[in-house]
């Protein structure tokens, strides 16, 4: 089998749950199989400090749920641009006897700056609150689905400084204290983002027809099964776990297709499924 490339770029930061490495890589392990791209992708590798079993895969699924809802909202015109980077893969290894546990997942590195001020002084010295374009609609849309993305967005030591939002051009307008839509929300960890699974499941059921039209039935099914897995884990029906692994593998392959030039015998992008990460 052809081997991929992983090149360390820099440390990407640390939080209370994990640390992040920035890598240029063509090798993406994950649920459904390992994918090798022909073009390098600047990726964030989030490694858990306390690697509970399957935490890497669970983090991938949490991120994937948020990403597909983000796709749904912006394609529906709720806001103008996508504000969630794409999840790319995950690793869950070493829980067997005698091995060191290792849990991590991969997502697109968001270029820009974290830690911009939420406040500024105007020409008269009055304090102004900085607004992010799309922010209110973004937060409220996810809140209706039971996901709170508006929390953990300020430095705990200085609430006037942002965190977990990466902005490509963190400069407010001269006339208005507003910054553009060029931002991404990051960190979907268990402490940073609270998910009310009952509300989320109700949202998926209530919007099923619309979501299938916007996202396709396969993506909707992946969302539904991901929510079930995050609630039940390995206690989920074996048949449904197998179906979820297939759907996630197809989703990851589609996500990474833009970085591929090689084609397999069926005319699809090269996809190596031998090294499979299992949800069981």
Give tens-digit pLDDT for 67-90.
999 999 999 999 999 999 999 999
CA distance 244 to 10: 33
Domain C-terminal end among 140, 168, 185: 185
Structural domain includes residue 266: no
Enter the tokens of residue 202: 């109700």
The CA angle 154-160-162, to the nearest 5 degrees, is 35
* pTM of the model as a whole: 0.92
Range of the domain at 89: 6-111+191-259
The Cβ of residue 98 has, within 10 Å, a number of other Cβ atoms equal to: 5
Examine residue 144 and state whether it is found in any structural domain, yes or no: yes
Helix (H) or strand (E) holding 83: none
Same domain for 223 and 170: no
- pLDDT (tens digit per residue) in 182-237: 999 999 999 999 999 999 999 999 999 999 999 999 999 999 999 999 999 989 99
| Total domains in the fold of the chain | 2
Pair (181, 195) in one structural domain = no
Q: How many helices (H) and strands (E) does the chain have?
A: 6, 15
Given 167, 185, 203, the domain boundary residue is 185
The verdict on 105 and 10 lying in the same domain is yes
d(CA 176, CA 122): 10
Separation of alpha carbons 72 and 64, rounded Å: 12
Q: Which of 210, 276, 214, 202 is nearest to 246 (CA)?
A: 276
218 lies in the same domain as 235: yes
In a shared domain, residues 19 and 100:
yes
């Amino acid at each position: 089998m052809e081997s991929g490339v992983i090149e360390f770029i820099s440390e990407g930061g640390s939080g209370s749950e994990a640390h992040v490495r920035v890598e240029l890589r063509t090798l993406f392990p994950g649920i459904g199989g390992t994918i090798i791209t022909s073009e390098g992708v600047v990726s964030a590798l989030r490694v858990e400090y306390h690697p509970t079993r399957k935490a890497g895969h669970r983090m991938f699924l949490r991120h994937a749920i948020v990403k597909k809802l983000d796709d749904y909202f912006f394609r529906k015109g709720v806001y103008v641009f996508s504000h969630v980077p794409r999840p790319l893969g995950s690793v869950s290894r070493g829980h067997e006897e005698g091995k060191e546990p290792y849990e991590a997942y991969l997502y697109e590195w968001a270029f820009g700056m974290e830690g911009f001020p939420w406040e500024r002084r105007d020409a008269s010295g009055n304090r102004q609150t900085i607004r992010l374009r799309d922010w209110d609609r973004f937060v409220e849309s996810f809140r209706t689905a039971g996901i709170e993305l508006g929390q953990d967005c300020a430095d705990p030591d200085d609430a006037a400084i942002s965190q977990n939002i990466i902005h490509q051009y963190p400069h407010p307008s001269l006339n208005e204290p507003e910054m553009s839509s060029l931002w991404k929300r990051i960190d979907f960890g268990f402490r940073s983002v609270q998910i009310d699974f009952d509300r989320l499941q109700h949202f998926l059921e209530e919007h099923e027809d619309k979501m299938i039209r916007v996202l396709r039935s396969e993506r909707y099914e992946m969302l539904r099964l991901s929510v079930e897995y995050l609630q039940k884990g390995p206690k989920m029906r074996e048949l449904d776990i197998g179906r979820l692994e297939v759907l996630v593998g197809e989703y990851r392959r589609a996500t990474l297709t833009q970085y591929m030039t090689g084609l397999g015998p069926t005319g699809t992008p090269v996809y190596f499924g031998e090294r499979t990460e299992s949800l069981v």
